[in-house]
Structure 1
């Protein structure tokens, strides 16, 4: 079964509430077609004071949570075609988080450009920024992919020069992957490789149909939580939020 991207139920609503709060008081508005006089319906609706009073404590709590500063980025972690900072950052932390959760090394990690909804801005990074980056309830999983499936992964990555955490490769004139190294060793099509990724990608999302049916293991972690916890851990260790372009794709 293909997993669809799932909005983060309560969390996503929380983000919307926080955004609404930043824009101003909640307003009741009816989004209906204009009347024959071309006057929008609902312009003069007065917010219900009782409803606003009930919502306000939750509204304030959500706003405070979204404004929590998790860490600081000296420069923005940009999102652009090919190898980029924000995808390298998230793919690397996926490998780390999955390895810690499953108590074993993880060979590879994948995150697509489409999976990241925004860059990470320079300066203080809030929980709200993490929700903007990953507004979906995707779980971090590990798939155990046989060599032929791993080859298909690099075939998928090469035309768009997508970086894969834990690996380097080059792209030939026909946009085929060449010289694949995993953990510094030549790719062995007879081996099975563990790959950390979202459950959405593991289910064939973003046209990764070759992953359907590949055994996967749960880490018990929401990807968004793993990102936030990693940033908190960097801050606790006195480290900024950074990433590098390392020539993972040549």
Structure 2
């Protein structure tokens, strides 16, 4: 067994272990008895391998530059909370706008759950790193064409937690059922023979966060990562001289 002679070697070993498929089963293989060795403990006192450090340095610098690039400014933090969430409103709205741009078709609805958002957008400077913290997943923005009965299931799901849906308003009753659903300002009729376009992440379209009623629908891809759509939207706001803002604005009413 070779000694770990530097932190670089130790990190390489840990990376190899991390990349080894966890689902594989360990197989016992008899090995000859080896002479005892003295392993050197891994600690911050070990010097970096100069060659490895030199190889990694330009990549580390590039990543640092990209992550610290300023995208825009938020007057106050954009956070998520139970019920209608400013952060979910912000992301669901930009999903509709970006999906419409990519497909050339208006989007009736945009859906984003609080569970799909991992961190708030901070007050003050928003960087690329801020968006990676918000959306660390490689989720693609997709479009679903949903019949009325599936849209009804969406609002039934939403009403239980008073989740807002971009492009719509509704009233959540005490029993957790939705009433007075309006899409684009028009009363929603689940029996109407039409399809509703929904901008959503591929994770939620596949039934994530218990949105299982979407699983039967075939999503249309946009080729755009949701994280990229968020970054581009913030940049567009900044180019237009606008701050990054969002709020809960009464999309969900309680009765």
Report the counterpart of residue 188 of structure 2 in structure 1: 187
Length-normalised TM-score, structure 2: 0.82
Answer whether contact 1:145 1:215 (CA < 8 A) is retained. Answer: no
User: What value does the CA root-mean-square deviation take over the aligned residues?
Assistant: 2.0
Answer whether contact 1:231 1:241 (CA < 8 A) is retained. Answer: yes
Residue 123 of structure 1, CA deviation: 0.3
Aligned to 2:247, which of 241, 244, 248? 244
Report the counterpart of residue 42 of structure 1 in structure 2: 42
Q: Distance in 1 between matches of 2:247 and 2:174?
A: 26
Report the counterpart of residue 217 of structure 1 in structure 2: 220
Answer whether contact 2:8 2:49 (CA < 8 A) is retained. Answer: no
- Aligned residue-pair number: 220
CA-to-aligned-CA distance 1:64-83 (integer Å, 9 cap, x gap): 01010000001100111111
Length-normalised TM-score, structure 1: 0.84
Report the counterpart of residue 142 of structure 2 in structure 1: 141
Q: Where has structure 1 moved over 6 Å in runs of 4 or more?
A: none
Residue 131 of structure 1, CA deviation: 0.5
SS at match of 2:165: coil
Higher alpha-carbon Rg = 2
Report the counterpart of residue 166 of structure 2 in structure 1: 165
CA-to-aligned-CA distance 1:151-202 (integer Å, 9 cap, x gap): 1101111111111000001111111111100000111212311000000110
Q: Distance in 2 between matches of 1:27 and 1:122?
A: 40
Q: Distance in 1 between matches of 2:249 and 2:186?
A: 17
Report the counterpart of residue 72 of structure 1 in structure 2: 73
Report the counterpart of residue 55 of structure 1 in structure 2: 56
